[in-house]
Amino acid sequence: MCQSFVDYSSCKAGKPGSNLGICGVRFNLSPMSDQFSEIILSAIKKVNKEAIWAHTDHVSTVYRGQKEAIFDAVKSCYLHAYQEGIHIHFEATFSKGCPGDTDADYTLTLENNRPNQSQTSHITFPVIGKFAVYPMGSETYMTEIETIINQGIEQGLVSGSSHYCTLLAGDIHAIFQYLEDSFSFLEQHVSHFIIQVTLLCNIPEGEI
């Protein structure tokens, strides 16, 4: 394997590498079950990918496209993986505006950018989890983080603050809507940002 060095000397804070405004998410589904492989592969196949660019390898899956389309697709993947009683760990990195990004590997559709909505809206379950927001290249980043957390508290979806994260609890659809709204808020205030989130379903009972 010959791996070339990277060169980001032409990258500048505040200047996205993609002129098309491509949004993206990279995620992992980890069903804590002996049947993990079937659950993951089946969920990935069930997602309607006509509105996104998608790639899965042994490490994770990435979707790129319009904001609405990537949120629709990644949420539907988690919904398709859901089975009663199966504890699933989901982690995702949402991002937009990286100065090192390029106008490649994307689908940008103008119509029907939520093709999975009608097939998956009946699947619903509670999740708990955590998230963190990273507005890049900005000295005022704590202000944007504060606004987003307080919006989640107002909506009853933020269950607490802890070291290195904000805690989440609520219905899966409400949580994804909050994450998408936070993404929209960041789009208006920051050139490059990341939302890192972990969502767990079917939590075992009992004390730890």
Site for a second copy in 173-192 (CB under 8 A): none
C-beta of 77: minimal distance to a second copy in Å?
14
Q: Which residues pair with 115 in a beta bridge?
A: none
Q: Report in angstroms how near the CB of residue 90 gets to a second copy at its nearest.
A: 10
Question: The tokens of 36 are what?
Answer: 């993990």
Q: Is residue 124 near a second copy by the rule CB under 8 A?
A: no
Site for a second copy in 25-64 (CB under 8 A): 25-26, 28, 30-34, 36-37, 41, 56-60, 62, 64
Interface pick for a second copy out of 20, 21, 194, 202 (rule CB under 8 A) = 194
Three-state SS letters, 105-120: CCECCCCCCCCCHHHH
| # residues near a second copy by CB under 8 A | 76
Element (H, E) at 26: strand 23-31
CA distances from residue 165 to 7, 107, 160 in whole angstroms, order as listed: 31, 32, 9
Nearer to a second copy, 155 or 177 (CB): 155
Here the tokens at position 9 are: 């000397």
CA nearest to 16, candidates 193, 196, 141: 193
If one asks whether residue 19 binds a second copy (CB under 8 A), the answer comes out as: no
Q: H or E stretch including 142?
A: helix 141-154
Question: Smallest distance from the beta carbon of 174 to a second copy, in angstroms?
Answer: 15
* C-beta of 40 vs 79, nearer to a second copy: 40
Residue 121 beta carbon to a second copy: minimum distance, rounded to whole angstroms? 26
Task: State both tokens at 152.
Answer: 């989640």
User: Please, which of residues 58-117 interact with a second copy by CB under 8 A?
Assistant: 58-60, 62, 64, 87, 89, 91, 93, 95, 98-101, 105
Taking the complex as a whole, the smallest distance from the CB of residue 2 to a second copy amounts, in Å, to 10
> What is the enclosing helix (H) or strand (E) of 151?
helix 141-154
- Are 46 and 206 in contact by the 8 Å Cβ rule? The answer is no
Using rule CB under 8 A, residue 121 touches a second copy: no
Q: Closest separation between CB of residue 122 and a second copy, Å?
A: 27
Alpha carbon distance 149, 18 (integer Å):
28
